[in-house]
Amino acid sequence: MRGRGNGQRHHHRAALTGTLWLDIILALILGLVIWRVSIAVIRMLATPPPEIDPADIVIVDQDYKCSVCGAEVTMKAVNPAQDKAPRHCREEMDPVWRPTWPQP
C-alpha cells in the first residue's frame, strides 16, 4: 500500500515554498539573476584589453628560458610598465645572458 499513511510524511512533488505562486516568482527571480550574471561575464570576456601606446614600447634583445621545460624565447620589444619576466609552464622564465659578438 502506498501513500501518506505508510510512513511518508510529505508528498514527493510538494512545492518548494509551499505555494505554487511563490515557486513561480522565485524561479523567475533566480532565472533573471542567472541571466544578468551570464551577460555580465560574457561582456567582460568580449571586451578587448586597452591598446598599448607605441611610445611606451622599448626595444630590447633579451633571452629567457623556462626552468621547467627548457623552452626559450627572445624578447625584441617590451613594455617597461610590466617589469616581470614572461611566464611559461605557470612559472616565471629565467633571463639568459648570451654574449654579443661585435659586428664586423
Residue 101 has a CB neighbour count (10 Å cut-off) of 6
pLDDT given for residue 1 in this prediction = 47
10-residue averages of pLDDT along the chain (104 residues): 56 66 91 98 91 84 90 87 84 85 70
- Burial (Cβ within 10 Å: 0-12, 13-18, ≥19) of residue 92: middle
Tens of pLDDT, residues 22-52: 888 999 999 999 999 999 999 999 998 888 7
pLDDT given for residue 30 in this prediction = 97
Residues 57-83: b if buried by 16+ CB within 10 A, e if exposed: eeeeeeebebeeeeeeeeeeeeeeeee
Q: Which three cell numbers stand for residue 9?
A: 510524511
pLDDT given for residue 57 in this prediction = 86
Phi, psi of 33, deg, nearest 5: -65, -45
Please give the Cα distance from 95 to 75 (Å, whole number): 10
pLDDT given for residue 7 in this prediction = 58
